[in-house]
Amino acid sequence: NAGVTQTPKFRVLKTGQSMTLLCAQDMNHEYMYWYRQDPGMGLRLIHYSVGEGTTAKGEVPDGYNVSRLKKQNFLLGLESAAPSQTSVYFCATSLGLPNEQFFGPGTRLTVL
């Protein structure tokens, strides 16, 4: 089993470009999360989903959109990238509440 995977691993964008980050899981977990990690800031929640077809805003949702069309996939979109979105993005999944969250390997995004 692959667990939680993220695509791509690295990406460099120019200001104003768009992109989509893919999180895929084969753990059959209902809950999925997108976090961003910045130096000295810990991990901050961007958006989350409690099941297929549902999404909700987290602590820092501005500039991002998400979709969960299939249970196993959670997509994070940046419509018009800004340098402030330079960060490492982690996807996580959880079986239930409250419970351990399993993290993907991360995507390092640089916006020039």
Partner 1 sequence: GENVEQHPSTLSVQEGDSAVIKCTYSDSASNYFPWYKQELGKRPQLIIDIRSNVGEKKDQRIAVTLNKTAKHFSLHITETQPEDSAVYFCAVSGGGADGLTFGKGTHLIIQP
Interface residue list for partner 1 (CB under 8 A): 31, 33, 35, 40-45, 48, 50, 56, 58-59, 90, 92, 97-101, 103-106
Nearer to partner 1, 41 or 82 (CB): 41
Q: Which is nearer to partner 1, 42 or 69 (CB)?
A: 42
Q: Which of 97, 109, 103 is nearest to 64 (CA)?
A: 109
Q: How far is the CB of 25 from partner 1 (least distance, A)?
A: 13
Q: What is the DSSP secondary structure assignment for residue 85, as one 8-state letter?
A: G
Is the CB of 65 or the CB of 103 nearer to partner 1?
103
Distance of CA 104 to the CA centre of its chain: 9
Length of the chain: 112
